Structure 1
Amino acid sequence: MNKKYLSKTMAALMLCTSFASFANADKPTVKIYATGGTIAGSSESNMDTTDYKAGKIGVDLLISAVPELKDFAHVIGEQIANTDSNNINQNILLKLSKAINLQLADAKTSGVVVTHGTDTLEETAFFLDLTVKSDKPVVIVGAMRPATAISADGGMNLLEAVRLASDDDAKHRGAMVVLNDRIGSAFYTTKTNSTMLDTFKATEQGYLGAFLSGEPHFYYEPTKPVDKPYFDISHVKQLPKVKILYSYQDQDPALLHAAIKDGAKGIVIAGTGNGSLSDVMLEAVKETMDKGIPVVRSTRTGNGFVTPKQEGIGSGVYNPQKAKVLLSLALAHGDNLKTIRNYFEN
């Protein structure tokens, strides 16, 4: 090859690289932590929205599939896991939270995005809301349709999540959930429908904002949920085992006793109505509490406040799955029964 031509080509490439670096320097940096889920799912049929395989697409392909991301941020990615969200465990949660805390401590990072399966997305989002100490945005995003489906929602959801994570107005709002053009507080948002796109809601508390043509618009100034705790998990290697039991007519305490025998350090019960239980279960709860094992009484209704209890601990605003997350963090923190009660019933 002509040396003069090669020299000009190399100079042009260096100029392009320098220009790209300069352009990226002017844009906020957002890191995406990928864990798998439907947003990374695929199927042989583009009509399939229920029987696909979750966690089949890597973070690099997710990023490259939405080239518009680079218009708003310098995006980097890390694959924390690539699995169905029902396989997310405490090891992944602890690794993820620690990584995010370190990343957000970097002055060059504007915010982070976590891609996640929707089935347990609210639990991871809530866990991060209680364990990430930063004013910068943490955005958890997923999809209800796999990447291979007609009208797949993952691409737009990811674009909106990155835009939110790079937006100065998103600071001081805690962790947020983004799907279906909605911005929700991770503290309150829950999955309310098994298959429909508009599944993530906070029925009582509402949304923080919404997207219009991919641009975030907030309804309120930054605010913080009342009595939201923070837990430092930087040195936590394992979370204590907490079990969730479901309440029903003619329930007996056999599963409660079995959970304790299996090593549970705390129990959450999805009770009926306002955390109601049968007389025989109330007696078992009292005995369990007397042994120093906290029992939190939530509700299976999917919504509402569970008031303070004499037998056990009323869950307050926390549904069973979020009560489990909070209780496990409190136990890992070494809190006593009185302190734990205050987290829920305050």
Structure 2
Amino acid sequence: MFKIDRWIHAAAALLLSSALSACAQTPAAAPAQATAKANIVVLATGGTIAGAGASAANSATYQAAKVPVDKLIAGVPELAEVANLRGEQVFQIASESFTNEKLITLGKRVAALAKDPGVDGIVITHGTDTLEETSFFLTLVVRTDKPIVLVGSMRPGTAMSADGALNLYDAVVLAADKSSRGKGVLVAMNDDILSGRDASKRINIKTNAFGSQWGALGSVVEGKTYWFRAPVKRHTNDSEFDIEKIDALPMVSIVYGSGEMGTALAEAAAKAGAKAIIHAGTGNGSVPDYEVATLRKLRADGVQIIRSARVPDGFVLRNSEQPDDKYDWVVAHDLNPQKAKILAALALTKTGDTKELQRIFWQY
């Protein structure tokens, strides 16, 4: 028995020695290849996110469009862990100074970058005052499924509790995430992921300024995206509009509804050359009785009349309040006046037929 035990121990030792020798001669398994970071371009246009105040206590009084894009990116070093970034300074303006010409310039640059195989996503820093118009415009005219994310801030970077750095971080996370593809142009503000179609600035001076009556698409929390719904209206690759074929936009004016509003504003808009008037009516896009004849005459003269509402939520019903079929008018559905203005301008580059215009407002 003693000899057998010695033999068993000797054999076990030999097997162990052989195993250790084999391990020593076998090369270690190569570590799993790290996932390549997305290549993101940050297009800067100015706005509060690039603003500076006189002191940390100035959150609503400041100068917009002061900080260049390279400093914006450098101010959030955590961005380097999320994506490979490069910045371009397209404009350095407060967003209330955006014009149709600037919209088209920005749109063409975004479209060119979206075609670049070396670009995985695009972030656009933008002032909040007209961010909703730009986001909707890009939603309609850029043919791509790559993520395009607009971002701004309500407080300059010099203010206490400034929101720009986290908003920018969230925007880059969103643009770098493959799950963002095909969802149209997005807006990243205050942890929310909003659709560029229906995102709207609903509060000023507070950081929760942007929202949509239809709710957020999702959220960005601690560098991760969470989705809850997707847009169903036509956008980007499914759009009939193409920025590469657009070099100018027709004039569209908004006439704001109120008690005792008169008719002079609508008449002045037409005289100034407006091809369409967005009538931002009260309630369900209401038109006062004393204005109906004026709008009907303008329509007979070739000006498109599009009934929207000054009410933030809800939508305008066709042939309710006014006989739109009879008057050959269009309703903006759920689009607020400023978004209706963007869609009307683009639609008029395609058609002047009222039925076609109404189809476009239903579909987008």
On whether the aligned pair clears a TM of 0.5, the verdict is: yes
Matched-pair contact (CA < 8 Å) for 2:135–2:187: yes
> Structure 1: how far apart are the matches of 2:66 and 2:173?
24
Matched-pair contact (CA < 8 Å) for 1:30–1:76: yes
Q: CA offset at residue 49 of structure 1? A: 1.2
Q: CA offset at residue 337 of structure 1? A: 2.2
> Structure 2: how far apart are the matches of 1:332 and 1:121?
22
> Structure 2: how far apart are the matches of 1:170 and 1:258?
44
Where do 1:107-126 residues align within 5 Å? 107-126=117-136
Q: CA offset at residue 330 of structure 1? A: 1.0
Q: CA offset at residue 336 of structure 1? A: 2.4
- The structure 2 residue matched to 1:320, chosen from 317, 324, 337, is 337
1:332 matched to 2:340? The reply is no
Aligned CA-pair RMSD: 1.8
Give CA deviations for 1:185-206 in whole Å, capped at 9, x if unaligned. 1111111101111111112x11
Which has more radius of gyration?
2
Matched-pair contact (CA < 8 Å) for 1:308–1:345: no
Q: CA offset at residue 226 of structure 1? A: 5.8
- The structure 2 residue matched to 1:184, chosen from 194, 202, 214, is 194
- The structure 2 residue matched to 1:225, chosen from 230, 233, 239, is 233
Matched-pair contact (CA < 8 Å) for 2:194–2:216: yes
Q: State TM-score, norm by structure 2.
A: 0.85
Letter in 2 for 1:256: A
Give CA deviations for 1:226-271 in whole Å, capped at 9, x if unaligned. 6884411213221111111111112221111111111111110110
Letter in 2 for 1:217: Y
> Structure 1: how far apart are the matches of 2:314 and 2:239?
20
Letter in 2 for 1:184: L
> Structure 2: how far apart are the matches of 1:80 and 1:229?
25
Q: CA offset at residue 292 of structure 1? A: 2.1
Paired position in structure 1 for 2:217: 208
Where do 1:268-307 residues align within 5 Å? 268-307=278-317
Letter in 2 for 1:314: V
| Corresponding residue pairs, total | 322
Paired position in structure 1 for 2:204: 194
Letter in 2 for 1:74: N
Q: CA offset at residue 344 of structure 1? A: 2.2
> Structure 2: how far apart are the matches of 1:315 and 1:248?
18
SS in 2 for 1:29: strand
Paired position in structure 2 for 1:11: none
Where do 1:10-21 residues align within 5 Å? none
Please list every run of 5 or more consecutive structure 2 residues that lacks an aligned counterpart in the other structure.
1-32
What stretches of structure 1 move > 6 A for 4+ residues in a row? none
> Structure 1: how far apart are the matches of 2:291 and 2:360?
23
Give CA deviations for 1:27-69 in whole Å, capped at 9, x if unaligned. 1100111010000000111111111000001111111111111
Matched-pair contact (CA < 8 Å) for 2:275–2:302: no
Q: State TM-score, norm by structure 1.
A: 0.89
Amino-acid identity (%): 39
> Structure 2: how far apart are the matches of 1:318 and 1:138?
21
Please list every run of 5 or more consecutive structure 1 residues that lacks an aligned counterpart in the other structure.
1-21
Letter in 2 for 1:209: G
- The structure 2 residue matched to 1:100, chosen from 93, 103, 110, is 110
Letter in 2 for 1:225: K
Paired position in structure 2 for 1:155: 165
SS in 1 for 2:243: coil
